[in-house]
């Protein structure tokens, strides 16, 4: 059995489908469906069982599972809302939950692959997996940063694989439930269908209109990286999961326009509430990932957005 926490979410449900594509369906999905619309992400997934997060944790801590039957835990469950400032909730949901799973996996020698985030880097422009370059700008980023720090403290005494994947700007199928936190590609597709107008922020931090740069990564590539580590249980560590190539928001908008063969960009004022806590540039340094032996070739914005537009509009 493989356990996928956050399995009804964006990346989690795509990961379940990735496992299904390998012929694997002995999967326990853990999530909470307070936001009931997320059930749609599971409709096409083949799974063995579903458990609510609280029920799962209770049973785990009571010893209800047979550890020898668990091949790996993919821990994707987290609050990923960067505008959430309830630190108590964020640390309980993202940090304490992760620690419980980590120690369970270590006690029973189970591979543990978890979602970290590029948000740990904050305003630093180096994007290397090293403490000197890390300084989150919001409490979401801090929750991920602190768990990475916790893992580092235990790195020398691991009994089984532990991998933290620092996701950059992920986009693709199954993200509609994220609402305002869904990718810019998702929102631009809706905008072009509504009005033929795509809205991007005006320039900031020295960048021109729509020229802010992000490392946009297609969710299919994220799944491939997770599964690469599943196939290489001897490899542990914290790794950036981006393409290694930043592209502009204008590139995303133009890819959407090319797919629909219509539309124009309008630039809107940069929001006051985002000033000082917005990453205008991200680009994954892939040196550690490549040194680990992963040579996966990532899709460009043009390639990934084309696939996503086909999925959204058919």
Q: Is 140 a catalytic residue?
A: yes
Active-site annotation holds for 66: no
DSSP code of 270? P
CB 238 within 8 Å of CB 278: no
**Residues near 289 by beta carbon (within 8 Å), at least 6 away in sequence:** 225, 239, 240, 241
Active-site option among 140, 142, 167, 308: 140
130 — phi, psi (to 5°)?
Answer: -150, 140
Cα–Cα distance for residue pair 54/56, rounded to 1 Å: 5
The secondary structure element, H or E, covering residue 21 is helix 10-21
Catalytic residue among 178, 207, 267, 278: 178
DSSP string, 211-257: --EE-EEEHHHHHHHHHHHHH-TT--EEEEES-S--EEHHHHHHHHH
Phi-psi domain of 128 (left: phi exceeds 0; alpha: psi -120 through 50; beta: other): beta
Given a contact cutoff of 8 angstroms between Cβ atoms, the answer to whether 197 and 150 are in contact is: no
Catalytic residues: 140, 178
């Amino acid at each position: 059995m493989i356990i996928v926490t956050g399995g009804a979410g964006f990346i989690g449900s795509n990961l379940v489908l990735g496992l299904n594509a390998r012929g694997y369906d002995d999967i326990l999905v853990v999530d909470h469906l307070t936001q009931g619309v997320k059930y749609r992400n599971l409709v096409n997934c083949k799974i063995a069982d579903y458990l609510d997060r609280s029920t799962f944790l209770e049973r785990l801590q009571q010893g209800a599972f047979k550890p020898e039957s668990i091949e790996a835990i993919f821990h994707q469950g987290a609050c990923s809302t960067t505008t959430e400032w309830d630190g108590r909730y964020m640390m309980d949901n993202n940090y304490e939950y992760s620690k419980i799973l980590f120690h369970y996996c270590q006690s029973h020698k189970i591979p543990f692959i978890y979602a970290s985030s590029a948000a740990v880097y904050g305003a630093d422009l180096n994007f290397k997996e090293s403490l000197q370059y890390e300084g989150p700008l919001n409490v979401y980023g801090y929750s991920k940063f602190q768990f990475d720090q916790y893992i580092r403290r235990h790195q020398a005494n691991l009994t089984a694989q532990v991998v933290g994947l620092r996701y950059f700007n992920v986009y693709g199928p199954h993200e509609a439930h994220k609402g305002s936190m869904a990718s810019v590609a998702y929102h631009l597709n809706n905008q072009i269908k509504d009005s033929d107008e795509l809205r991007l922020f005006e320039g900031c931090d020295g960048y021109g209109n729509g020229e802010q740069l992000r490392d946009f990564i297609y969710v299919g590539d994220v799944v491939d990286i997770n599964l690469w580590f599943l196939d290489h249980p001897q490899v542990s560590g914290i790794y950036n999961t981006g393409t290694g190539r930043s592209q502009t928001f204008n590139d995303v908008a133009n890819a959407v326009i090319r797919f629909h063969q219509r539309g124009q960009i309008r630039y809107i004022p940069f929001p006051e509430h985002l000033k000082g806590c917005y990453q205008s540039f991200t680009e994954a340094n892939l040196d550690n990932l490549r040194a680990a032996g992963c040579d996966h070739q990532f899709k460009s914005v043009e390639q990934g957005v084309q696939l996503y537009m086909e999925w959204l509009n058919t």
